[in-house]
């Protein structure tokens, strides 16, 4: 059995899923922002008969809670210049992409064709500025190799089903996540499921994805779930290592990330086989 999360939901719908899903998730998680407790699923609320009120007074205005801690979101205020990418970082990222490309061109040309050309330095710089956080050097190196992938049915996924986004996609995703985080007004959500110094770089099409944590400038790789919390446990510490592990799995047919294995479909495209 195979599972391709990113193919089930159109990219245009994904942003709506993220916003609605995250708003719902963070509100339910808090459950106390308005002083009430949430009822369990299927439990009918207790009601007491009341005498109808015919008051014509205007309803009391309602206000949303606001964060009292720093969300880390600085949309539009990121660094206006890119830090130079170390030559060693560029070599390592390019070497991993070389291996991925060779395998795709030989075994899955339909997927190879979805790798986009390099992003320009100017476009990456603008995405960094709009996202409000410095991009890790390895992400810059990767975007300079491929500006994400084309949104096609056979597009390349990092295992298991995360589609690398373009520089523009990084910017757009960061804005969506920060907008929802700040509008939730719940302090505990800062860093729990998002932080303004997370840099999103891949999405699964269903509202979840991968990010690089820049809170301490290390770019540690993590995963967000729009209905839960962020996690780091099952992932290598860097994007470069994920690319290298992906290349090795392609070359050997071996397992990667919880046992997923690469397979080639009848359309000569890459898919990831779900562990049994």
The reported pLDDT for the residue numbered 59 is 58
Check whether 49 has a pLDDT greater than 60: no
Question: Is the model's pLDDT at 10 over the cut of 70?
Answer: no
Asked if residue 161 lies in contact with residue 3, where contact means CB atoms within 8 angstroms, the answer is: yes
Q: State the pLDDT at residue 276.
A: 77
Q: What is the DSSP string of the chain?
A: -B--HHHHS-HHHHHHHHHHHHHHHHHHHH--TTS--PPPTTPPPP----------PPPPP------SS-----TT-S-SSPPPPPHHHHHHHHHHHHHHHHHHHHH-HHHHTTBPPPPPHHHHHHHHHHHTSPPPHHHHHHHTT---B---TT---BTTTBEEPPHHHHHHHHHHHHHHHHHH--GGGBTTTB-TTEEEEEE-SSS-EEEEE-SSSS-EEEEE-TTS--B-TTS-SSHHHHHHHHHHHHHH---BTTTBEEEE-TTS-EEEEPP-
pLDDT, tens digit (0-9, with 9 covering 90-100), for 127-185: 999 999 999 999 999 999 999 999 878 999 999 999 999 999 999 999 999 999 999 99
Domain boundaries, the chain: 68-208+218-273
pLDDT at 44 over 50: no
Residue 57 has pLDDT above 80, yes or no: no
Where residue 91 falls among pLDDT bands split at 50, 70, 90?
A: very high
What percentage of the chain carries pLDDT values higher than 90?
72
The C-alpha atoms of residue 91 and residue 129 are separated, in whole angstroms, by: 25
Rounded to the nearest integer, the mean pLDDT of the chain is 84
Report pTM: 0.80
Residue 141: what pLDDT? Answer: 98
Mean predicted confidence (pLDDT) in 94-99: 98
pLDDT tens by residue, 221-239: 999 998 889 999 999 999 9
Average pLDDT over residues 89-100: 98
């Amino acid at each position: 059995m195979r599972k391709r999360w990113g193919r089930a939901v159109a990219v245009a719908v994904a942003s709506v899923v993220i916003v609605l899903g995250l708003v719902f998730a963070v509100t339910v998680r808090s459950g106390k922002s308005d002083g009430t407790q949430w009822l369990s699923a299927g439990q009918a609320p207790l009601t007491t008969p009341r005498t109808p009120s015919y008051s014509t007074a205007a309803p009391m205005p309602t206000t949303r809670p606001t964060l009292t801690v720093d969300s880390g979101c600085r949309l539009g205020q990121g660094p206006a210049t890119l830090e130079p990418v170390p030559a060693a970082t560029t070599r390592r990222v390019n070497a991993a992409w070389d291996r991925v490309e060779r395998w795709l061109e030989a075994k899955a040309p339909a997927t190879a064709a979805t790798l986009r050309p390099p992003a320009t330095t100017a476009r990456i710089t603008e995405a960094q500025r709009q996202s409000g956080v410095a991009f890790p050097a390895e992400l810059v190196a990767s975007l300079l190799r491929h500006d994400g992938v084309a949104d096609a049915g056979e597009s390349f996924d990092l295992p298991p089903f995360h589609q690398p986004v373009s520089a523009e996609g990084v910017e757009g995703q960061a804005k969506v996540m920060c907008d929802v985080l700040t509008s939730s007004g719940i302090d505990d959500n800062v860093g729990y499921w998002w932080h303004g110094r997370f840099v999103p770089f891949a999405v699964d099409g269903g509202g979840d994805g991968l990010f690089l944590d820049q809170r301490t400038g290390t770019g540690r790789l993590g995963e967000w779930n729009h209905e839960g919390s962020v996690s780091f446990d099952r992932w290598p510490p860097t994007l470069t290592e994920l690319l290298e592990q992906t290349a090795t799995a392609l070359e050997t047919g071996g397992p990667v990330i919880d046992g997923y294995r690469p397979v080639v479909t009848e359309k000569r495209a890459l898919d990831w086989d779900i562990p049994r």
